[in-house]
Amino acid sequence: MPSPQRPVAAQYVATFLKPEMLHIYRQIRALSAWRPVVFCQKREHEKEFPWQGTMIVPKPRTHQFRRFYYKTILHEPIVAYPGEARRIWQGIDAADAGLLHIYFGHIAAYLRPMFPYCLLPVVVSFHGADTAVNLEKKGHAEAQREVFAKATLLLARSQSLMEQLANLGAPREKLRLQRTGIPLSEFHFSARNAPEDGAWHCVQACRLIGKKGLRTTLAAFASFARSHPRALLTIAGEGPLRVELESFTAQLGMAGRVRFAGFLQQEELRALYSSAHFFLHPSETTAEGDREGVPNALLEAMATGLPVVATRHGGIPEAVIEGVSGILVAEGDTEALATALAQLATEPARYAQMSVAAREGVVAKFDSAAQARRLEALYDEAAELAQRQAMR
C-alpha cells in the first residue's frame, strides 16, 4: 500500500539564503513529515545552500524607491504591492501548500496585502530584531498587531523572545517555543583542558554588528592578555563594524594578539573551535532595541565542548547554565568579563568540567533532529487549529 503524500509546508524566506541564515537552511532541510517548498524574492549562495525547486517572486524594480518612501516619508513598514502579493499567493496555491511558514516578523508585515486571500494556517517565526526594532513607531506596531491577528501560531526561538512578544500584544495562546537546532553529528566533542604553557585561545564568531558586544570582547581580552602574555583572540565573521573594531584593537595595543579571520566556512569554523579554549559572546541590546534570541555560533561552540563567557542577554541564559557550562556577566561589563576569564584560567578542574557541561547542555535542548520533529508537531497543531476555525 503506497504511503500517503506528505503535506506541503510553504517556507517564505525573503532572501534564500544569506550566510548568517545557515540555521534556517538546517531547519528546512531537516523536515521529513512535511515537504518544504521555498518561496523567496531573491536567491543567493546556491552553492552553499543547494535547494531544488525554489520559487522566486522577484522584488518590483521600484522596490528601493518604495522602501525609501515608506521609511522616510510615511514612517511605516513597507508592504508588498497588491500585484506582487497576488503572485506570491498564486505560487503558494499552485504548490498545493497546506501551511505557510514565514520567516520573520517584519517579513510577515511586508506580506500583509496577501492576508485577505491566504486561507492557509500561517506560522510566523521571530528570531530577535523583529521583536523590537522600530516597534516603538505607531505604524510598525500596528503592522505587527495585524501579523499577530493573522497568524495561527507565533514561534519564538527563546523564552525571552516569547515574553517580549507577549509584551508587544501577541496572544499568549498563539505563542510557542521553537529553539534553533544544531546538527550534533557535525560538531564533535573535544574535552578541554587548561593549556600548560598559558597560551589561552579565545574565540568569538558572529556578524560584526552592534548587538554582538565586540568592543566589550576586545577590551576584556586586552585586560586578560596583560596578565596572560601568550593569550590570543580570534574574531571570525564579517560586518559593517570591522574597520572600527580593527582600529579599536590597535588603540588597545592588541593588534598583534587579535586576529580578524573574516567569514569562515563551517569546516573552518569547526577547526577554529577545536583550537580554542574559551568562546566569548557578550551580546548587548542596541539603542534601536536589537537583541539576540540564542546565538547559533554559541551553540555550535558549546557542542564542541567550549566553555562560554557571555552576558545575561536575550536567550543566552537558556543555553548557558551559569557556573556550570559557562560564566555570565551583565551586558557591557568589561571588567566582569575579564575577571571571569582570569578566574577560569586559574581553576583547571572547574574549566574541564565546564567543557563537558557545555556539550551536554546543547544535546539536551538544541539537537536539530529533535527540534525538527517539534516544528512538524507545531505544523500539525496549526493545521488542526485552522481546521477547527473553519468548521465554526
Is residue 288 domain-shared with residue 334, that is, in the same domain? yes
Is residue 125 domain-shared with residue 269, that is, in the same domain? no
Q: In the chain, how many domains are there?
A: 2
Cα angle, residue 362 at apex, residues 356 and 366 outer, rounded to 5°: 170
Is residue 214 domain-shared with residue 98, that is, in the same domain? no
For residue 2, being part of any structural domain is answered with: no
Which domain, by its residues, includes 275? 184-365
Cell readout for 332 is: 557591557
Give whole-number Cα distances, 269 to 216, 223, 263, 277, 297, in Å: 22, 26, 9, 14, 9
HSE-CB of 4 using CA atoms within 13 angstroms: 5
C-alpha 224, offset from chain centre: 29
pTM across the whole model: 0.92
Is residue 331 domain-shared with residue 377, that is, in the same domain? no
Q: What is the pLDDT of residue 83?
A: 93
Is residue 171 domain-shared with residue 267, that is, in the same domain? no
For residue 52, being part of any structural domain is answered with: yes
The pLDDT profile of the chain, 392 residues, written as one tens digit per residue, is 344 689 999 999 999 999 989 999 999 999 999 999 999 999 999 999 999 989 999 988 888 888 888 888 888 889 999 999 999 999 999 999 999 999 999 999 999 999 999 999 999 999 876 665 566 677 888 999 999 999 999 999 999 999 999 999 999 999 999 998 999 999 999 999 999 999 999 999 999 999 999 999 999 999 999 999 999 999 999 999 999 999 999 999 999 999 999 999 999 999 999 999 999 999 999 888 888 889 999 999 999 999 999 999 999 999 999 999 999 999 999 999 999 999 999 999 999 999 999 999 999 999 999 999 999 999 999 999 999 887 77
**C-alpha span between 81 and 39 (Å, rounded):** 17
Instruction: Assign residue 17 the CATH number of its domain.
Output: 3.40.50.2000
Give whole-number Cα distances, 369 to 30, 92, 294, 374, in Å: 7, 26, 18, 9
- Using CB atoms within 10 Å of the CB of residue 321, give its burial: 0 to 12 exposed, 13 to 18 middle, 19+ buried: middle
Q: Are 155 and 123 in contact (CB under 8 A)?
A: yes
Q: Are 213 and 281 in contact (CB under 8 A)?
A: yes
Is residue 240 domain-shared with residue 201, that is, in the same domain? yes
